[in-house]
Structure formats: structure tokens, C-alpha cells
Chains A and B, each alone.
Chain A
């Protein structure tokens, strides 16, 4: 990657100002590093930028879940089973004031089903930085501060409704983001190791090694993934701790998910192998690992990052599907797929349609990640065109 010569700027008095400006900009493009060029191109892709902002937001929410969520995920209140979502009101009679309306309940004498009605006479004041259930932030210090919560502890506030145990859906979706979004990252990190290793070997050595690995990839791609995933996760011992199950599932997902990545890496390797700078490094007597890591890897890193970003949503969807079917993560863990298990029963779904909301969290996360990945892929090769 040699730098092109800087353009000569003609010294003409009148046009000098303009010319230097243009020249400076051109010169800036000429000397900009590859990553800068990638960033400039990425910035033009508006949907990708929006997607990136949303992705960062979701990860921030997941990181600070304890603080952002109004309640802890396992806090329950049997009085508010299937309480419907409340609207958050911003303006009180005298100016700004946050509040929600309380519920009045009616017990159906025949079916013993409790129905909720929004009771406009009961006002539940809500405030920012409210004191609620106490928690240990990242296991470091104890606090009871929540971004949003009822002023009086114990008052009902269910912005997205409650489930069958009167647990707040909003809090559970926020905590679910932590598991669902991180399983994508961990799974992709593992696939990355498999994919780069096997794809790299395949592309660099070519020949018989390449054929064997390519056949293996074709084989794995030709098997419907979900049945295979289900079969493997059914074998995870049920007595495992939640954390071990979590890692077991990510390993299973990445065992089958590395194929796409390996293909990208192999393709790049094959096209780079013939480049002059690789030949030069070889003649210089660099070792193979050094050529791969020091010379080839940096020049296709942007492509790999784009493919990685596009692999995250696939992992998230896979985890959601597995947990939804009951063969992935199990209830003490809160993930979007686990939350959707509650929506599997059509009768409870009919009484509480808001049980589907974790699904919309999945859609938003997947869409945002897809847009971000598309933008990265389009800008991965800044020298093209």
C-alpha cells in the first residue's frame, strides 16, 4: 500500500486560495489511512449510521441494565398479573410532571379472571432517578437508584405491561438485551476464531487442504441448521449451571456458524496471495505466520469486520429460536427468546398481547445490526471504484 504522490499545486495568485483548499482536501484523501477512508465512506450511508447509533444505544442499555430498568427482572407482584401497559404522561395540571394512572381491578365472578382498567382517579407519580429495589451494580457497589420509577416504592408502574407473575415486561426486556446481545458477540467471537483459522489455512495453503475444508463447509451449509442446533443443545446436561448452559449454547451456535466467515476469509486470502507485497514479504524471508498476521490480515480486516457484524444478528435470531423452543437458555436466565416462551401459549397471548414485545426488541436489534453491517460491507474496500 504505497502512498500516491502528492499533487502539484500551481502558484497562481488569484486562484491560489481556492486551489490550495482543493489541493489540501485531495492531499488529505491521498494521505488518509485506510480506516479513515472506510469511515468517510461509511458516514455517507445514512441508514447504516442510524443503525449504528441504535446498536450502540442497545448495548449501552444492556451494559447499564440494572440502572435503566425500573425494577429488577425477578421482582414480582401477584396483584398485577397481566396488568396492561400504562401510558406515561409528561404534563401535569401545573406544567411538567411525570405520572401514570393506576389500575382498578375487577374480579369476574364466574371465571375468577381479574380484569384491569386504567383508573384515572388514581395517579401514580413517577420520577427520574427514583429509589426502587436495591441491586449491586456490576457486583461492585450496592444502590437502589433507577433511571425511572414510581416515587413511592411499591406503586404499580408497568409501561409495557406485566406477565403472568406480575413482573414488569420493560425491565425484563432490558435485562434480556444483556443476554441476547452478548450471546451474539460471544458466539461471533468464537466463530471468528474457527472461521479465520480454517478459512486462512484453506486460502493460504490451497490445494488438497483447501478442498477438504471447502467440502466440510459445503456439508455444514447443506444441513438445515435449526434441527442440528436443536439436536446438539438437547444433549446439554440439564443439571448444568445457567452460565455453563449459556457458553454451551454459544459454542454450539458457533460450531455451525463459522462457515460464512471462513468463506470470506478464504476468498480474500486467495485474491491477496498473488499481490506484489506478499511476494515481497516472502522474498524478504518473513515467516508464514508473520506474512499472514502482519501483511495480509490488516488489508482484509475491514471485510472481516463487516462479515462479523452481519453474523451477529444471525446468532441473536438463532438463540431466540432455540430458547423459544425450550432447548436453549432456561427461565432463571432472562433473554428475549426465554421471554418469548411465555408468548407460546395462545390463550395467554390473547389476554396479554404485550408478551410479544420482546419479539419487537429482536426485530429492532436485528434490523439495526443488518443496516450497520450492510454499510460496513459497502465501505469495507475504500479503494474500489
Chain B
């Protein structure tokens, strides 16, 4: 087991390095560098540009030096000092902004994942056990719809309904009185009361996918000889189902995290924008539109790193659950 974990962690390192390079490339992509944008913005606002300030910034980011030196400065500052650079639009360190928003994104993604599991397990089992029943058809149909409806459209419809019938203009994650409040029990409860709408919107597509996989896996198991044997020996149907086939069919739950998590974090960007959530998504969008590239690149980096770590955890869980995978590496 330890050998397996060590192997997976080692594999992760080149992935992380490449991800950081891609994120940095995105920072570099827009024409001109960060400073030219800053100077243009400041002079557009009629502020005089301080020559010495520019020189300091140039030295800090190594802007007069080649690409790889800049990359090295950027990444070593992040890894060694937790310094992600400065957001010139907010005039604050990027790390502060990330600390504010990232926990909410993680909570939202985690909550959605749990919700996806909690719904798709019973529904998937029902759909497989009662194959070709009306309920199965309804579930299959809803599943197709869940995959075809872009989640932001679902979010728009919900936003429309809440505005039209409840008079709330933004769904949000908190009630107005809690948005800027310090964390306390009331704020947590308020968050729990609001989070289910985005969780449902975000989870819809993943749920549809996972239900289909659980159903297919369980259907494969249900016709295997050991199930027939157990049934002929008189094991009650419910116990028979829960004890063996469901346990085997549970594997995809953990193994699908690898693709459900990127899906969730992708969807989060657009859903959060529509529903007005205070997560990283709208922050990223604004940063990109205003070419606040250090902020944008850092958000992309952190979201990708989160996904890789989530996938790693799911792989380890899978190895823990399934000895076949564990023993492959021993």
C-alpha cells in the first residue's frame, strides 16, 4: 500500500510541474506584459506613473529577463514563500484573494461530490434492479436530459424562477446580512441553507453520468453465477443485493472522481457567475476580462492542483477498497 501511494505521489510531481508551466504560459499569453497593462491603466485613470515603482516591480517579477527566469521566479515564490504575486485590479496580494475564495470553491465541489454520490447510489441501484420498469425509463430519460442541459442554463432557469416568484435577484451563497460577516454558526447555517441550489445545478451532469455507470456495473454483476447461487440458497433479496453486487458496483464511485472533479470545477466557473456566488469562478472571469494575469494564472493553477490532488486521493481510496489494484504494484 505504502509503495503504491509513493508511486502515485511520484507520478504526480511531473504533472504538477507541467500544470504550473501551462498556467504560467496563460499569464504570458496576452500581448505585452503585466506592467504595460498596469501603466496603461494607471495613465488612463490620470494617475502619474512612478518610475521607481516600475523598476521595483520589474525586478520583482524579472520582467526584463527571459521566459524561464520569469517562470522560475514566479514558481519558486509560490512554492517557497506562498507569494502568488500581486493583483493590480484589486491592489492586493493574489494569495489573500485565493484564501478568501478557494475554501468556498472546495466546499462547493466537495458538497456537490457527496450529493452526487448520495443521490446516484440509490437511484442507480433502483434503476438496475428494476430494469425496463417505468421508473428505470424515467431515470434514463432524466439522465439524458441532465447531460444535454448545459448547467448554466439550469442555473439561469433557477435564477429566473427565484427572481420571478421569490423576488430575490441573486441566489448567492449567503443572505445579504451574512455576506461580509465574520464566520460564525449563523453564517455556516446560512451557507447550508443556500448551498443546495448550486450543488444541485452543478451535480446534475455528473449525477447523470454516475447513475448510468452504477446501473451498467450492477447489471453486469446481477447475472453472475454467485448471485444465482446465493439466491438459490435462500439469501433474502435485499441482503443478497447489498452484501455483494452493490459492493462491487461501488468501485466506479471512487474511480469516477478523476473525471467528475474536473467537470465540477469547470462547471463551477460558469454556474457561480450566473448565480452570483463568491467563489473563484467569477474572480477568474473578471481577472481574465481585465487581463489581471497573475490572478488569473494563479486561480487556474490552484484549481488544477486541487483536481490533481483530488484524483490522487480517489486513486488511493480505490487501492484501499480494491485489493486487485493494490497488488498490481507489489
Residues of A participating in the B interface, judged by any CB pair closer than 8 Å: 215, 218-219, 221-228, 230-232, 234-235, 237, 313, 317, 320-321, 324-327, 340, 343-344, 346-347, 349-350, 353, 356, 359, 362-363, 366-367, 370-371
Contacts and interface: CB of A to CB of B under 8 A. Distances in A.
Given A231-B296, A356-B153, A350 B259 contact: no
Given A325-B285, A362-B153, A346 B26 contact: no
A289 to B, nearest CB: 31
B288 A224 contact: no
A362 B151 CA distance: 12
A226 B270 contact: yes
A24 B51 CA distance: 90
B67 interface: no
B304 A237 contact: no
A230 B29 CA distance: 12
B144 A327 contact: no
A371 B304 CA distance: 32
B267 interface: yes
B169 interface: yes
Interface residues of B, number: 52
Contact of A325 (B147, B273, B307): B273
Nearest to A343: B156
Given A230-B288, A327-B289, A370-B144, A224 B265 contact: yes
Nearest to A356: B156
Contacts of A356: 153, 156-157, 160
B300 A228 contact: yes
B127 interface: no
A221 B262 contact: yes
Interchain residue pairs A-B with the least CB separation, the first 5: A235-B29, A226-B266, A231-B26, A234-B288, A224-B265
A317 B163 contact: no
A219 B284 contact: no
Interface string B143-186: 01101111011001101100110000110000000000000000
A363 B160 CA distance: 18
B284 A359 contact: no
A227 B157 CA distance: 23
Interface of B: 14-15, 18-19, 22-23, 26, 29-31, 144-145, 147-150, 152-153, 156-157, 159-160, 163-164, 169-170, 258-259, 261-263, 265-267, 269-270, 273-274, 284-285, 288-289, 291, 296-297, 299-300, 303-304, 307-308, 311
B150 A225 contact: no
B259 A221 contact: yes
14 contacts: A222-B308, A224-B261, A224-B262, A226-B267, A226-B269, A228-B26, A230-B285, A231-B26, A235-B30, A321-B152, A346-B160, A350-B160, A363-B153, A367-B148
Contacts of A230: 269, 284-285, 288
A42 B274 CA distance: 40
A282 B159 CA distance: 62
Question: Which of B150, B163, B170 counts the most A-chain CB atoms under 10 A from its CB?
Answer: B150
A380 B303 CA distance: 37
B289 A234 contact: yes
Contacts of A227: 265-266, 269, 284, 299-300, 303-304
B26 A222 contact: no
Contact of A222 (B144, B145, B258, B288): B258
B150 A359 contact: yes
Contacts of B26: 228, 231-232, 235
A223 B307 contact: yes
A225 B262 contact: yes
Contacts of A366: 148
Contacts of A228: 22, 26, 300
A370 B273 contact: no
A230 B284 CA distance: 9
B160 A232 contact: no
A218 B164 CA distance: 44
Given A218-B15, A221-B259, A231 B288 contact: yes
Contacts of A326: 289
B20 to A, nearest CB: 11
A356 B158 CA distance: 12
Contacts of B269: 224, 226-227, 230, 325
B77 to A, nearest CB: 20
Contacts of B153: 340, 356, 359, 362-363
Nearest to A237: B31
Given A215-B14, A226-B266, A317 B160 contact: no
Contacts of B160: 346, 349-350, 353, 356
Given A324-B270, A349-B163, A366-B148, 9 more contacts: A222-B19, A223-B307, A230-B269, A231-B23, A234-B289, A327-B289, A350-B163, A359-B156, A367-B144
A131 to B, nearest CB: 36
A370 B274 CA distance: 26
A359 B262 CA distance: 23
Contacts of B273: 325
A223 B22 contact: yes
B312 to A, nearest CB: 10
B150 to A, nearest CB: 5
Contacts of B31: 237
B159 A346 contact: yes
B271 to A, nearest CB: 10
A47 B261 CA distance: 30
B289 A320 contact: no
A227 B303 CA distance: 9
A43 B277 CA distance: 47
Contacts of B14: 215
Contacts of A215: 14-15
